[in-house]
Structure 1
Amino acid sequence: MTELAERLRWLRGGAAPVRYTARTIAALTANPGCARRGLLDAAGVDKSALAARLGHPARFGQSRFAITRTLGFENRLKADGYAELLAAVGLAGAEVVTVELTLDIAGLPAALEPDLVILRAGGRLHVVQIKSFAVIDGQAPGDKVAAAARQAAVHVLALRRLGHDTDHEVSLVCPENFSNAPVAHRVDVRRELGVLERQLARLVGVADIAAGLPDGATADDAVATVPARYAPECLAACELAFYCRQEARCAGETDTLGRAVRDALGGIASVGEVTAIAGGAPSTEHPEIAELLVAARELRAGAPVGQPEGDR
């Protein structure tokens, strides 16, 4: 066992690693600057259990009813040799194939949990995602389709990096209207592929992060010493988000204001520093932003009390 593998084993307490899924990789690459999540995901740490132990349990995920509905829909599509799924997708001569998927994540090969269906048709592979959200009158929730497209792109990229000719259009198979009958929609994921590749390239190397930990460091040690990069969007994607939010709030970090505000502040990390600069404190490092903050404060101070926000 290599030194890195031993460090990662200690982080998860000797438990079996939680495998990467397309969902976790999509969430990780949406915030590539978060070294904390990158390390814990690479180690296969159960972040839900860790968050609960830290007193900030995750508050997202499917209800039991939704999970039961999802499993029932998936089982229906997989019955009789995937007969209903193949009929819904409508690819002539398609057959289901099994491919062991791996993808390099921050310098380490990661095996992907098989949570999709791969078809071979016309000499090419085609990714199919089974989703339980309904398509009503031909329309599906835009946010859910976007999330599914990002996850499907992970599989397409993994297949291509393994040398497989893979279609850039994927099929999302969902229940139609209020029935359990499947309907398929083709989605082009070329834009998502481009974003994914750029974000994977930005991930900090796991070996570099782990090297900064003492021997025998646990997941709790990693949370205490490895920096996170919290953003409000994390609340819908990371099990540790509520812990990291509390941490960022206590530290007065501008991360709590959202990525757009943080980026507009040009690297000013502290809310206290922002208010001080807006109040006239000199800033040789951020002169242009200081000018804008002072102007914003003066405009705010000059706005009539009680005037509707839209009229200011």
Structure 2
Amino acid sequence: MPPPRPQTPPPPATELRQRLAELRGPTTPPHPLDARALAALAANPGCRRRALLDGAGVDKAALARAMGAPATFGQSQFAFARGHAFEARVRAGGGAELLRLLCERLGEEPAVETAVPDLSGGGPQERVGRTRLALEEAVKSGGWTLLFHPMLVLDVAGSPVWLEPDAVVVRPDGGITVVEVKSFPVVDGSADAAKVGAAARQAAVYVLALEALAAAPGLVRHTVLLICPRDFSNLPTAEPVDVRKQVAVTRRQLARLTRVEEIAAALPEGTTFDLRPAGDGGTPTRPAAELEAAVGSVRAAYAPDCLAACELAFHCRAEARTAGAVQTLGRGVRGELGGLTTVEAVLAAALGEDDGALGEGGRDGEDPAVEALRRAAALRNEALTASGAAAGGVLCG
């Protein structure tokens, strides 16, 4: 009998998938990501917790509910209906209004004839194949082509993520432009900066997916077209948005996701985010304390912005508040405070105390944030003293 063949170790990608499956739960299918999730991940690149949970395909909404901190953000049914009605108006007439806005805002000659290929298919892989062929034919044709809801795919931590932008336009020169249709209004020529930023990050994800799908990535433009209602009407208006910065940030963050094994390797033995104990196929019964300990073993980077973008935001906020972390005051304040990471340390610095709450830089007087806080506290005391004296003089008079 011939000796058994030596078994070769699985490639790193296979090992990573196995490790992430163990963290998620052997019988739990991965929770699918979408462009919104990837955009939110890119907006907070320092959050190791979200990077690991998203990379492992953990259902963060179910995890938050099991820990007693469910997320409450999301669009209302009215907002969904309004968004669908507005997109239908933009798509009317084979996308004539969409192309008019694109040509007007990007300085193109008006489109005369436009091809609108059928991209429907039996599944995401088939639809991706149809989208790839449609892009290739559109680039070769030398005319205008409009792709409504094409299916794209992006590899994230070794797993495919299916993405569906609102529209993609291929121009006669072969240039490929992403079109994002949003229902938030543009009032007097300006829109909510936070919503525009979120739309730009989402469009950047589509740009990356198109670069991976298109035969010539250089044809994908990094200026996308954002279409929104004008003022408080249902009439569309459009603005070009440069997403080069968002594309670079998202590319770096996705590259970091392929190294989530480094985060997973640092977890305590036996850590799992599986909601069901081993052998239990029923409803989630794992104690909330065990899940909180597992989540707490991965460092988070909470900021108030997370409340509108992450299912674990309420849990992370409570955790940060309990620790007295200055992150709860916002990223801007956190950046200004330098090495002072807790509210206790900030108060100690402002009051001139020299105790364990201050870091080494604060005790040595080397932290400029400490000096700024002490100057601010002194000015506040002077102002309160002056106002108190003035009030006393009025009462005496």
Q: Sort the TM-score into its range (normalised by shorter chain).
A: 0.7 to 0.9
Aligned counterpart for 1:28 among listed residues 24, 41, 58: 41
Give how far 1:46 is off: 2.1
Give how far 1:71 is off: 2.6
Aligned counterpart for 2:80 among listed residues 67, 70, 74: 67
Q: 1:152 to 1:281 in 2, by over 3 A?
A: same
User: Percent of aligned pairs with the same residue?
Assistant: 48
Indicate the SS of the match to 1:304: helix
Which runs of no fewer than 5 residues in structure 1 stay unpaired? none
Q: Cα deviation per residue 1:156-203 (whole Å; 9 max; x = unaligned)?
A: 233235552211221122334555444433222234334444555666
C-alpha distance in 2 between matches for 1:216 and 1:197: 29
Equivalence for 2:273: 218
Determine if contact 1:132/1:175 at 8 Å carries over to the other structure.
Answer: yes
Aligned counterpart for 1:5 among listed residues 12, 17, 42: 17
Q: Which amino acid aligns with 1:285?
A: G
Q: Which amino acid aligns with 1:294?
A: R
Determine if contact 1:4/1:210 at 8 Å carries over to the other structure.
Answer: no
C-alpha distance in 2 between matches for 1:284 and 1:185: 49
Aligned counterpart for 1:245 among listed residues 312, 317, 328: 317
C-alpha distance in 2 between matches for 1:18 and 1:156: 23
Structure 1 segment 81-120 matched on structure 2, within 5 A? 82=95, 85-90=98-103, 92=111, 93-97=143-147, 98=150, 100-104=152-156, 108=158, 110-120=160-170
Equivalence for 2:53: 40
Structure 1 segment 87-236 matched on structure 2, within 5 A? 87-90=100-103, 92=111, 93-97=143-147, 98=150, 100-104=152-156, 108=158, 110-122=160-172, 123-136=174-187, 138-162=189-213, 163-164=216-217, 165-197=219-251, 205-213=259-267, 214-215=269-270, 217-218=272-273, 220=291, 222-236=294-308
Determine if contact 1:254/1:270 at 8 Å carries over to the other structure.
Answer: yes
Q: 1:184 to 1:300 in 2, by over 3 A?
A: closer
Q: 1:269 to 1:140 in 2, by over 3 A?
A: closer
Q: Choose 296-305 or 34-43, whichever is displaced more.
A: 296-305
Q: Cα deviation per residue 1:143-167 (whole Å; 9 max; x = unaligned)?
A: 3223212221222233235552211
Structure 1 segment 48-67 matched on structure 2, within 5 A? 48-67=61-80
RMSD: 3.1
Give me the TM-score of the superposition, normalised by structure 2.
0.66
Q: Choose 170-179 or 120-129, whichever is displaced more.
A: 170-179
C-alpha distance in 2 between matches for 1:137 and 1:116: 25
Q: Choose 236-245 or 288-297, whichever is displaced more.
A: 288-297
Determine if contact 1:30/1:199 at 8 Å carries over to the other structure.
Answer: no
C-alpha distance in 1 between matches for 2:258 and 2:374: 36
- With a CA cutoff of 8 Å and minimum separation of 6, indicate the structure with the bigger relative contact order: 1
> Which structure has the larger Rg over C-alpha atoms?
2
C-alpha distance in 1 between matches for 2:71 and 2:386: 39
Q: Cα deviation per residue 1:240-279 (whole Å; 9 max; x = unaligned)?
A: 1111011011111122222222222223322223333443
Give me the TM-score of the superposition, normalised by structure 1.
0.82
Equivalence for 1:288: 366
Residues paired across the two proteins, number: 306
Determine if contact 2:165/2:178 at 8 Å carries over to the other structure.
Answer: no
Q: Choose 68-77 or 165-174, whichever is displaced more.
A: 68-77
Equivalence for 1:276: 348
Q: 1:179 to 1:259 in 2, by over 3 A?
A: closer
Give how far 1:52 is off: 2.3
Which runs of no fewer than 5 residues in structure 2 stay unpaired? 1-9, 112-142, 275-290, 389-397
Indicate the SS of the match to 1:45: coil
C-alpha distance in 2 between matches for 1:180 and 1:112: 30
Give how far 1:302 is off: 3.1
Determine if contact 1:174/1:184 at 8 Å carries over to the other structure.
Answer: yes
Q: Cα deviation per residue 1:5-33 (whole Å; 9 max; x = unaligned)?
A: 23323444444333332322222122111
C-alpha distance in 1 between matches for 2:24 and 2:387: 55
